[in-house]
Structure 1
Amino acid sequence: MQLNRVACKECQRRKIKCSRQLPLCHQCTTHDRQCVYSDAQRTPLTRKHLNEVENDLECALQMLRRAFPDMDIDVAIQLLRSGGDFNAVIPVLLCTLLLKFSGIMSPELSSENMSSPRPKSMNILLLVDGPRIEAPVSGNVVVGLELRNFANSHNLQIPQFLPPSVDLSRLSSQMVGDRVRSPFASSPSKSYDWDERKLLRHDSRPTIIDGMATTVSNSYLGVTSSAALLNLVGVGYFLHPIQPELKDLEFLKMPERKILEENVTNYFSTYHISYPIVHKALFFAHFNEIVPPPPCWKSLLYIVAAIGSFMSATSAADHADLILFDRAKQNLSMEDWETGNLTLVQTLSLMSNYLQLRDRPNSGYNYLGIAMRMALGLGFHKNMDDSEIPLFDQEVRRRVWWGLYVFDCSQTITYGRPLGVSCNGVDTRLPLNIVDSSLTSSTTQVPKDEELPTIYTSLRLQALFHLLTNGIYERIISEPLPSAQSLLEWDTQYIQRWKGMIPDYYRENEQVQPEYQLSHAVIHWRYRNLRIIIYRFFVLKRQYELGQSLQDEYEWRASTVCLEECRATLQNMDRFWKSKTAYNRMDAWWSLYFLIHAVMMPLVCLRNDPLSIEAHSWRNDVGIAKGIITKIMNICPPAVRILDLIEKVSAGCFTVMEEASATHAIPNLAPEEAPLSQLMQLHLMLWPDPL
C-alpha cells in the first residue's frame, strides 16, 4: 500500500485524521468526497527528518569524493547554489578528468562559463616598472603589444599572460602564503619526491631504456608527456617497471684509450650530427694532447664517450656506457659547481640529455637547469659582435646556447612541464649553416651560410621551431584553455610559418645524404608531433561524444588534422626504416619517441569505434606502427612493451564483427575495459601512486 507524505486537502480542511492512502484516502472514499493531495509538500520540521537528510547528504558526498578524489565538490555545490546550470555542472564532474588532463578543456565544459567572469588575461610585461601599455583582449588572445624582447619584437610567439589563478584585485587582501587556485583545479594527494640514483653494483641493473619517464612514478608529468599518453591508453601499464636481461656490471672494466677513442668516434658519427654541442676538431686536439685541455675536460671526454657508446649500440644488452658515465661524474666535484666555463656547460648539457635517454628524467632535468643557468651567467644568450671574443669562440657559444635551448624545450614538452627559459633578453643569433672548415680560430670574417645540409641545419631549424611555437605550448598547458578556432589560427600563423622557412634542400620529400637522414626526419616528425599534441584533445572529445550531435566545425577540423598528422608521421617513419640497412639505438630511440604519439590516437579511435567508416585507415595506421616496432625492438627494449600494449588495446578490433551492436560495442570487451573507462584513467596516471 502506497502512502502519501501528508494528509489530503479535504482531511486538512476538516481537521480529521487522514489515512494518506493513494490514490484516495479512507475518509474521502467512505464519505464520497474528492480526495486531492497537494503537489507542493512542506519539509517536515522534525529532528528525525533532519538526521535522515544529513546522513543521505554525507553518504552522497563520500561517494562523490571517492569517485573524484581531486575534484573540488564544494565548489560545484556553490555553483549550483548560486544559480549555476545543473546540466553544465554535472558533466564537468564526470568529464573534467578526461578533458582537462587530455590537453585542453572544452570551453563549453570549463568552469569559466559557470562562474563569475574571470579577470581579463594580462600580459606579464604590464607588471614591469615603466610605462603601462593598454592591451586589447580578444577571446583568449592578447594582441597589439609592443614587446621589448628579441622573440616578440619579430612577432615570433604568442605574448605571455598571467594565469587566471592570479587575481590582481585580490592579491593585496590575501595573506602571504595563501594558495590561489581556480575552481576544479587538481590538488596532488602526495608529494613528488623522487630518487633516481643507480649504483653500479653487481646487484643493480638499469631499468628499461626509453627516456620518456614511463617508469618514473614520483615526479610531475604534465598533459603533453609521452608517459601520460601511454598510461592513459594502457590504464597504468607503464607504471610498473621491468628490468632487461644484461650481464653483471661488475665485469665492466675501466676502458682503455682505444675503447675511449672508438666511442668518441661513434659520438661524432651519430649524436653530433643532430646536436653539435662540442667542436669536433678542437675536441680531438684536446684528446690527442695537441692543445692543453681546459678545466673539467676529463668529465666532458667521458660523457662524450658514454653517449657514443649508448647511441651506437646495436644490442639491447649493451650497457658499457654506464661505466663511462660513472667516470664522467667522478671527474666532477662540488667545487666545480662554484665555477663557470664553456667546457662545464657542455658537459652538464650532455649529461642532462644522456640521463634522459637512460630514463632518469628528473636527474637530467636538474643537470640541464644548472647548465642553462651557467650559460646565462656566462652571457651565451647575448650577441657579442662588438666584443674582443674571436669569431670562432662566438660561434661556439651560439651553438651551445641554442643546443641548450632545444634541449630545454624538448624536455619540457616531453614531461609536460612549464618552460624553463624565456626569450626575454635573448639576442644572440642562430648558428651559421656552415661546414667546420669554413670557421677556425684564425678566421677574421664571418663566413656565408651554405645552401646545403650541414650538421648545424637541424639545430637552427629546431631552435627556430621552438621560438615560433613555444607560445602555443604554453597555452595548451595553461588556463584559460584555447578553443579549436584559436589553435587553428595559431597553427597557420606560427607553425605553418615555420614550415615555410625550411630551406628547399631540407624539405620533407628531399633526399639528403645518409648521415643527415635521421636529423632530417626528426625535424619533420617534431613538427607533426606538436600538431598531434595540440589537437588530440578534440579527437578524444570526438570519440567521447560518439553518436551525439555534430561537433563544432573548428573542433571537427582540429580532430581531422590530428589524425592526418598521425598517419603522415607513421608513413614517413615507415619510409625511413625501409630505407635503412643498418640500425642503431639513436635511430630506434627517436623513432619510438615520436611513434608513441602518432599511433595512440588511431588506436583509441579504433578501440572506441571499430565499425566506423574510417576504421580501415586506423587499422592501416596501427599496422604500420607495429611493423616499425618489429624492426627496432631488438635494439630498443621499450619497443617490446609498446607492441604488447598495442596488441592488448587493439584486441578484437582488427576484424569487423557482424554481431556487433548498433552502439559499436565490442562483444568481448569487459565493462571495466571500456574505452571511456580507459580515458578516465588519465587522472590516475598523471598523479600516480608510489610503486
Structure 2
Amino acid sequence: MELERTVARDSTSAVAERACRECSRRKSKVKCDRRIPNCSSCEQYSRNCSYEKPGKTPLTRRHLTEVEEELARTKALLKQLKPQQRNSSISNPQFSLVHGDEIEEENANPLQFPSRNAGPPRSSAGSYIDSSQPPLSSLTQEQDVSSARPRGMRQSPRMHFDNGIAQTTTSPNNHPTPNTDTISRSNWSTMLSLESPPTSGNFEWDERGGKVGGQKFVDGMGSLTSDVNGSGVASGAALLRITGGNNEHASGTSSPGVPNIPFAITSLSFLDGFIDAFFSHYHRSYPILHEATFRAQFMEIIPRPNGNAWQLLLYAVAALGAWSAATERTDIDTSLFEAAKARFSIDLLETGSLVLVQGLTLMSNYAQMGNKPNSSYNYYGLARRISMGIGLHKEFSFWESKPLVCEIRRRLWWCLYAFDVGSIITFSRPFDFPQSGVEVQLPANVHESDITSSTVKMPEPVDETTLYTHLRAQCMFHLATTQIYARMISVPFLTAKEMVELDDVSINPWLAALPHYFQLHAHQPPRYRLCHATLHWRYRNFKILMFRPFLVRRIMPRSGLEHDENSSSEDLQSEEISFQRCLDAAKESVELISNFWFNNQQTMMASWYGLYFLFQASLIPIICLRNNPRSPMAADWRDQIQEAIRVIESMIQLNPTAHRCLRVVRSLSQAYISADEGADGPTRESLQDQLTNLYPMMWPTLGSEFATFDEVNVL
C-alpha cells in the first residue's frame, strides 16, 4: 500500500495530523512530535519516517457536527455569492449558461431552520447521536441534495370536466355531451352555472412557489379560486359564482415563495420535536404510519429502509408535524417540505415500497394544504399507482403474514383512499379511485398496543374510540356517497325527489350505523376531538353540496328557473325538503365549527379544516340574505353570518387564507347585516350578473375578458 504524507497547515511549520508509522508501531515512550519530513525520534535512530493518510473519517458526533457546520457555512457563502453571480452573468452569458444553473439549483433547496422560538423545542433524546452508526445512510445524501432533485417540469394539462358517466351521449369529437331532452325535462341546466370553463381554453398551471410563471394565488381548499382545473359543481368556489363579488376579494397578495430562513437544517436531531408533533396531532386523524416502527427506525434501533424513500418520508412527516401543531404563522413546514422534495428523484419511480407510498401520500396532503392542489393531485396519482403495484388493494387467504403486517397495509390503503376521495370532492373532479377488484378490509378498531410484531391472532375490536375509529368512519362515509357524488357532477342532474331518496337510503343509514362512541354528542378524549369534529363537519358539508342547487332555484326566482307548471305536489314537496336540508346543514356547520374552535386548542390543522367547511357553509345564508332580505328567516341568516365572521377573524392569526375568506364574506354581506332591517330589498343583480362579477375570482389568470353566456344555456 502506497504511503502518503498528510500535512496539517500551520503558520510556523509542517506538522502531520497523526504520529508516524514507526512511533505508532513501536509505541515509543517518547511521544512522536509529528514533524515533517522526519520526526525527532526517527531522525535520532535513523529510521524510515513515514505517515499514513487516514482511511476513514471517525464515526463520532463531534466529527459529524464539524461536517454539518462546514456544510452550513458553505451554503451561506453560496447564498451571499448569488447576487454577484447574477451580475457577472449579465456581462458573460457563457458563464451564466454553464455555471448559473448550478448556483440556482443549490440555492433553490434551502434546508433551513429558524433560530428563535420557531417551533417545537429540540429533544435531548436523539440516542442515535452516540451510536456507532452515522445518523444518515451516507453523508452524501445530506450534503448533495441538489443532485437528488428533479428539474422542474411543466405538467401536461388534464381535462376532466366530464367523466362520461351513464346518461350522456358522445359527440363526433368523442366529447361527452348532455342529453338535452332529459335536461329540458328536469329543467336542471342550473347546475352548469356552477361549472364554467376558462374562455381561453387554457387549463395549464404552475404552482412552483417563488418561480417565474407561478400563479399569484391558488386556493388549496377549492373555495376561492377555480384555476385548479376542473373545480366544478361540487367545489366550494362554485357557489361563489352566483353570489356576486370582485376578484380583488379573493386574489389578495401573491402567494409566498420559498421562505428565507437563515440557518440550515444540519442534523436529524432538530426533527425530534416535529416528529412528536406529527404523532400528537396529525396522526390522530390519519394513522398512515405505524408509530413504533417509524420511531425505532428514526432512532436506528432497527435498520432504516435503504435509499432516499425513507428520507423523503422523514421530512414529509416533519413538515406535517410542524404545520399541524403550529399555533402561530411559521415557515418551518415549508422548508421541511422542500427538504422532502429534494429527496425525491425519478429513480424512486422505478421502485415500489410501503415507505414510498407513505411519503408520497403525506406529500400530496401537505401540498393541498399548502395551496398546491394540482401538485397534490399528481402526488396522489403516483401514490395510488405504486400502492396497487405492491398489492395494497389485495388480501390473500394463503398469506402467512403477521396481523401487524396486514393491519399496516390496510391502514395505508384506506388512508390513501380517504385523502384521494376527499381531494376529488373538494375540487369536483371525476371519481377515479378503483372500486372493482379492491378486496382489502378496513382497519380493525383496536388499540395500537393490542397488535405488536409478536401478535399471532387478531384481537377483538374494542367498544370505544381508538386511533382507527375516525379512519374507518370516514372511509365508510365515502363508500356510501361515491355514487351520489358521481351523479352530482354529471348531467342530467338529479331531481329533488331523487336526491332526497338517495339521502334517505345512503347517508342516513351510514349516520345511524356510526358506533355510539363516535356519534355527534359522544364525549371524546382530547386527542380525538378534532378528527371526531371534522367527520361531522364533512357529513354536513356533503349535504350542502347535494342540496344547494335546489336552494339556489328556490331563493332566486328571477333566474328563469321557476317551477314547471306541470310539477306535481310531490315534486314541490321534495324541493321544499331539499331547501330545508341545505339550510339546516349550513346552520349546524356554523354552530359546530364555532363551538369547537372556541373550546379546543387552536392549531393550524384545526383552522384549515374549520375554515374549509365554515366558508362553504357561510355562503348559504349569504346567498339567501342577499336575494331575500325580508324573509322571516333573515334574522337567523344574519346571526349565522356574523358568527362565521367572528370565527374567521379568530383564524387569521394562523391561516393566511382566512383573511381572503373574510374579505369575501364581508364584501358580500356587509350591506345586509349592517342594520336590523338589512338592505331595502334583494340584490338587483341578475343571476347572470352575479356569475359574471365572480368569474374573475374563479379564473384570475385570464384577466377581465370573458365571454357573454346565454343565461338559460349556462345557468
TM-score, scaled to structure 1: 0.70
Matched, 1:334 2:346: yes
3-state DSSP of counterpart to 1:249: coil
1:312 to 300, 319, 325: 325
1:336-391 per-residue CA deviation (whole Å, 9 max, x = no partner) reads 10111100000000000000000000001000011011111211111234312222
Name the residue aligned to 1:290: 301
1:268 partnered with 2:279: yes
Q: How far did residue 300 of structure 1 move? A: 0.4
Residues 610 and 656 of structure 1 are in contact (CA less than 8 Å); yes or no, is this contact kept in structure 2? no
Cα deviation, residue 220, structure 1 = 2.3
| Partner secondary structure for residue 561 of structure 1 | helix
Between 324-333 and 378-387, report the one with greater CA deviation. Answer: 378-387
2:101 is aligned to: none
1:641 aligned to 2:637?
A: no
Query: 1:107-134: CA deviations, max 9, x gaps?
Result: xxxxxxxxxxxxxxxxxxxxxxxxxxxx
Matched-pair contact (CA < 8 Å) for 1:217–1:239 = no
Give distance in 1, aligned partners of 2:365 and 2:543: 24
Q: For residue 228 of structure 1, what is the aligned residue in structure 2?
A: 238
Q: Which one of the candidate residues 436, 443, 446 is aligned to 1:434?
A: 446
After TM superposition, give the deviation of residue 240 of structure 1 in Å: 2.4
Q: Name which of 199, 203, 207 aligns with 1:196.
A: 207
- Give the Å deviation of 1:677: 2.6
Is 1:163 aligned with 2:175?
A: no
Partner residue, 2:437 = 425
Distance 1:592 1:496 in 2: 25
Do the aligned partners of residues 472 and 683 (structure 1) sit closer, same or farther apart at CA in structure 2, a change above 3 Å counting? farther
Once the two structures are TM-superposed, the CA of residue 187 in structure 1 deviates from its matched residue by 6.5
1:552 and 2:565 equivalent? no
SS in 1 for 2:672: coil
Shift of 1:196: 1.1
State how far apart, in whole Å, the 2-side matches of 1:235 and 1:224 are: 21
Give the secondary structure class of the aligned counterpart of 2:481: helix
Cα deviations across residues 50-97 of structure 1 (Å, max 9, x unaligned)? Answer: xxxxxxxxxxxxxxxxxxxxxxxxxxxxxxxxxxxxxxxxxxxxxxxx
Deviation per residue, 1:242-297 (Å, 9 max, x gap): 24789951525225333201101111111100000011100000000011111311
Written as runs of structure 1 = structure 2, the 5 A alignment for 1:102-251 is: 162-166=165-169, 178-182=174-178, 189=199, 190-198=201-209, 210-212=220-222, 214-215=224-225, 217=227, 219-230=229-240, 232-233=242-243, 234-237=245-248, 240-243=251-254, 249-251=260-262
- Paired residue type of 2:586: C
Contact 1:211 1:360 (C-alpha < 8 Å) held by counterparts: no
Is 1:621 the counterpart of 2:625 in the alignment? no
Preserved contact between residue 223 and residue 616 of structure 2 (Cα < 8 Å): no
State the distance in 1 between where 2:657 and 2:699 align: 22
Measured after TM superposition, the shift of residue 459 of structure 1 is 0.3
Question: Are residues 302 and 209 of structure 1, via their aligned partners in 2, closer, same or farther at CA, if it must alter by over 3 Å?
Answer: farther
Kindly tell me: are residues 659 and 314 of structure 1, through their superposed partners in 2, closer, same or farther at Cα, counting changes over 3 Å? closer
Retained in 2: the 8 A contact 1:232–1:685? no
Partner of 2:358: 346
State which of 527, 549, 552 in structure 2 corresponds to 1:540.
552
Taking structure 1 as reference, are residues 493 and 255 closer, same or farther at Cα in structure 2, changes over 3 Å only? farther
Matches of 1:403 and 1:294, distance apart in 2: 21
1:253 is matched with 264
Amino acid at match of 2:544: I
Instruction: Determine if the alignment matches structure 1 residue 448 to structure 2 residue 451.
Output: no
Unpaired segments ≥5 residues, structure 2: 1-162, 181-188, 564-568, 704-715
For 1:207 and 1:687, locate their aligned partners in 2 and report how far apart those are by CA, in whole Å. Answer: 10
Structure 1 pair 654/676, CA: closer, same or farther in 2 (3 Å)? farther
Residues 539, 562 of structure 1: 8 Å contact kept: yes
The aligned length equals 515
CA contact (8 A) 1:208 1:637 kept: no
Contact 1:166 1:180 in 2 (8 A): yes
Match of 1:38 in 2: none
- How many angstroms apart in 1 are the aligned matches of 2:646 and 2:333? 29
Is the CA contact (8 Å cut-off) linking 2:626 and 2:672 kept in structure 1?
yes
Structure 1 residues 323 and 397: alpha-carbon distance in aligned structure 2, compared to 1, 3 A threshold: same
Matched residue of 2:490: which SS? coil
1:571 lines up with 2:591 in the alignment: yes
Matches within 5 A, 1:319-398: 319-398=331-410
Structure 2 contact 671–679 (Cα < 8 Å) conserved: no
Q: In 1, are the aligned partners of 2:558 and 2:686 still within 8 Å (CA)?
A: no
Of 410, 421, 424 in structure 2, the residue corresponding to residue 409 of structure 1 is 421
Contact 2:259 2:331 in 1 (8 A): no
Rounded to whole Å, the distance in 1 between the matches of 2:450 and 2:435 is 29
Question: Structure 1: how far apart are the matches of 2:678 and 2:304?
Answer: 73
SS in 1 for 2:602: coil
Report the counterpart of residue 146 of structure 2 in structure 1. none
TM-score, structure 2 normalization: 0.67
Q: 1:187 to 1:657 in 2, by over 3 A?
A: closer
Query: d(CA) in 1 for partners of 2:523 and 2:197?
Result: 50
Q: What's the secondary structure of 1:347's corresponding residue?
A: helix
Residue 601 (structure 2) pairs with residue 591 (structure 1): no
Q: Check the 8 A contact 1:198/1:206 in 2, yes or no.
A: no
- Equivalences for 1:654-669 in 2 at 5 Å? 654-655=673-674, 664-665=681-682
Q: Distance in 1 between matches of 2:624 and 2:520?
A: 27
SS at match of 1:387: coil
Q: Whole-Å Cα distance in 2 between the matches of residues 421 and 340 of structure 1?
A: 19
Moved more, 496-505 or 177-186: 177-186
Structure-2 separation of matches of 1:490 and 1:658: 38
Which range moved further: 480-489 or 321-330? 321-330
Instruction: Quote the Cα distance in structure 1 between the aligned partners of 2:613 and 2:678.
Output: 36
**Secondary structure of the corresponding residue to residue 433 of structure 2:** coil
Deviations 1:178-227 (A, max 9, x none): 445335887753121111122599x9999687543745626221111123
Do residues 531 (structure 1) and 550 (structure 2) align?
no
Partner of 2:518: 506
- Counterpart of 1:303 in structure 2 is 316
- CA contact 1:434–1:450 (8 Å) conserved in 2: yes
Residue 683 (structure 1) shift: 6.0
Go from structure 1 to structure 2 and tell me whether the alpha carbon gap of 1:506 and 1:253 turns closer, same or farther (over 3 Å shift).
Answer: same
Give per-residue Cα distances to partners, 1:312-349, cap 9 Å, x unaligned: 11222x01111111111111221110111100000000
Secondary structure class of the residue paired with 1:181: strand
- State whether residues 611 and 656 of structure 1, in contact with CA within 8 Å, keep that contact through their aligned partners in structure 2: no
**Cα distance in 2 between the residues matched to 1:209 and 1:312:** 21
- CA spacing shift, 1:222–1:367, aligned 2, 3 Å: same
Work out the CA distance in 1 between the residues paired with 2:176 and 2:287.
Answer: 43
Distance of aligned partners of 1:245 and 1:481 in 2 relative to their CA distance in 1, 3 Å threshold: closer
Asked if the contact 2:250–2:661 (Cα under 8 Å) also holds between the matched residues in 1, the reply is no
Deviations 1:481-535 (A, max 9, x none): 1000000001010000100111111110111011111000011111111000010
Change (3 A) 1:213 1:628: closer
